[in-house]
Structure 1
Amino acid sequence: MQTLTKKSNVRWVVAILMWAAIAINYIDRTVLSAAAPYITKEFGLDAAQMGVVLSGFFWSYALLQVPSGWVADRIGQKKTLGFAVAWWSLSTAVTGLATGFKSILGFRIALGVGEAAAYPSNAGISSKWFPDKERATVAGIFDSGSKFGGAIAMPLIVWLIAMFDWKMTFLIIGLLGIIWSIIWILYFKETPEEHKGVNEAELKHIREGQFKREGLDAEQPMKWYQLLKYRNIWAMCIGFFMINYNSYFFITWLPTYLVKERGMSLIEMGFMASLPLLCAMVVEVIAGWLSDRIYAKGLLSLTATRKLFLIIGLLMASCIGFAAFAQSAVLAVVLLCIAKSGTTVAASQVWALPGDVAPKNMTSVVAGMQNTVSNMGGVVGPIITGFFVAAYGSFVPALLFSAALIVIGILNYLFLLGKVKPIQAEHE
């Protein structure tokens, strides 16, 4: 390692790579939605079959969160994330070789297998590579990649399909992740101690700023299922379910809502549907940075800081209920931008919590546990919204139900979430 007075900033290059992995993650999972009209026509799929194909991703993605987190903690995030991105990118690239319903469903399930490791791995990397006072900042950075990927994916993919065809589009998008994997394996090291670009000042900044120094050994104080005994784990899972239930509205039903309920044209909808995601991307990074500044300056305890930003974020997210009664389409979109930004203010803390709460060397497992439950919100949310719209002929009850879940989320973080500190095994 170099011996320089001014600390190096390798950890922020790592943060950019983490952001890129999540952005590619969301672009890859969106390709099928954009290509769906072409695929259904070519293979003669009906709406029910296409619905199964679109949901197939979540079967493997949700179920493998904990196993992928366990693997990341055991063998390291470098191998796990590098292999995962290569796997899901290859799955994307070969989707153009599909010959019908069964094969395209298989490729979609394979995509979920790879993508399951992304968030748990990033949470583990954050706990190894960043001091505690930068944890929410890096969480906000890498999670904002999902909003960037979601916002640019549709226009990018539609353009590629127009330029080439849907099969070639899958190949091109898949190559992005393959390139990322090569860069990751060449550049990233499991711990900052192993990276030649990390000087003594940066290493000191990282390690002296960590309550628990992860990655220096492989010891885990308990089995993953023993974590279920702790109230903070339950609070993290329940709260993130409520947040994700609302978040998935913006990437599933929002375009239909803007066209059917607000009378927008397709061109207007395309622009307006991206606004909440773009606003949320910026707000999330700011929220993560601001919360870290407040904690680092000693203005609030870690518990108070996390709870403050979680509650502020969820109060903003409750604007989804007010959007239901907005008199104009413009006001509705403004309220939805506030609501989506609120979910990301909360998310900047949600993705910092695993590093705050997990026992030593179990951050990826804890992240996988909360993401498993949260993605159940992604599974049932679109279904329940569809039921409300079909039953009442309006999105108003669906949006009010989403706001009600946000209220439950606020109560959960206020009262069920206890002191934010690392879990200690009973024998310690």
Structure 2
Amino acid sequence: MFNIAFLAYLWGINGWLPGYLIKGKGIHLEHAGWLSSMPFIAMLLGEIIGAWLSDRLDKRAAACFVSLAGAAVGLAAVMHFATPLTVIAAMSFSTFMWGTGAPNIFALLAKATHPRVSATAGGIFNGLGNFAGALSPAVMGALIAFTHSMDSGLIFLAVMAAVGCVLLLPLLRRY
């Protein structure tokens, strides 16, 4: 179920980041284009480094836990910063951290499931995660409309990341 938290974050960031930067943080449209790409570049770097580290340490659940925790901390920081560079730096830290866990999601699933049902488990795991993830932008939009605050969307993502961390706790010792 922690995959729901991972994919809620991904879909939420993909769906709301440019709008958040423009409306929530007042970053002008002419700057938002290149600035809004920096967190996604950081995410890619996180995925590469996270995959490399995870193969060496073989602690898939811990990598996912640290990833989600770091992503949540980064999102919390974003809400407290005001200048474009500090907002982008905090968002890039958040997406980098998310990226470090992304390569571990299916590696962890493969370790935790029997080989005879690994494809079924993967389909259910990914299907539920993507379904819930696809709902994230709608939930964020509803929260933003209700609270009249763009930050409420990021709070939702940070809470989802924290819930994902809690769901990973039973897996930390074994995987």
TM-score normalised per structure 1: 0.39
Distance 2:99 2:172 in 1: 19
Change (3 A) 1:355 1:413: same
Structure 1 moving runs of 4+ over 4 Å: none
Aligned counterpart for 1:309 among listed residues 51, 57, 63: 63
Alignment of 1:356 onto 2:111 = yes
User: Higher relative CO (CA 8 A, sep ≥ 6), structure 1 or 2?
Assistant: 2
Kindly tell me the number of residue pairs found equivalent between the two proteins. Answer: 174
1:372, distance to aligned residue in structure 2 (A): 0.9
Distance 1:395 1:248 in 2: 16
**Aligned partners of 1:354 and 1:364 also within 8 Å:** no
Aligned counterpart for 1:322 among listed residues 74, 77, 90: 77
Instruction: Give the residue type in structure 1 aligned to 2:26.
Output: G
1:399, distance to aligned residue in structure 2 (A): 1.3
Distance 2:112 2:70 in 1: 25
Alignment of 1:386 onto 2:141 = yes
For residues 176-229 of structure 1, give each alpha carbon's deviation from its aligned partner in whole angstroms, at most 9, with x where no partner exists: xxxxxxxxxxxxxxxxxxxxxxxxxxxxxxxxxxxxxxxxxxxxxxxxxxxxxx
**DSSP-derived class of the 2:115 partner:** coil
Q: Flag the structure with larger Rg.
A: 1
**DSSP-derived class of the 1:313 partner:** helix
Write the mapping of 1:168-179 to structure 2, written as runs, cut at 5 A: none
Equivalent residue, structure 1, for 2:26: 263
Distance 1:315 1:416 in 2: 15
Which stretches in structure 2 are left out of the alignment for 5+ residues? none
**DSSP-derived class of the 2:80 partner:** coil
Equivalent residue, structure 2, for 1:294: 57
Distance 1:248 1:272 in 2: 19
Q: Identity of paired residues, percent? A: 22
Instruction: Give the residue type in structure 2 aligned to 1:267.
Output: E
Give 1 or 2: higher helix fraction: 2
**Aligned partners of 1:311 and 1:413 also within 8 Å:** yes
Distance 2:28 2:126 in 1: 35
RMSD value, Cα: 1.8
TM-score normalised per structure 2: 0.90
For residues 267-317 of structure 1, give each alpha carbon's deviation from its aligned partner in whole angstroms, at most 9, with x where no partner exists: 31111121111111112111111121123xxxxxxxxx1222112111211
Change (3 A) 1:276 1:322: same
Distance 1:344 1:273 in 2: 16
Which stretches in structure 1 are left out of the alignment for 5+ residues? 1-237, 296-304, 421-428
Equivalent residue, structure 2, for 1:250: 13
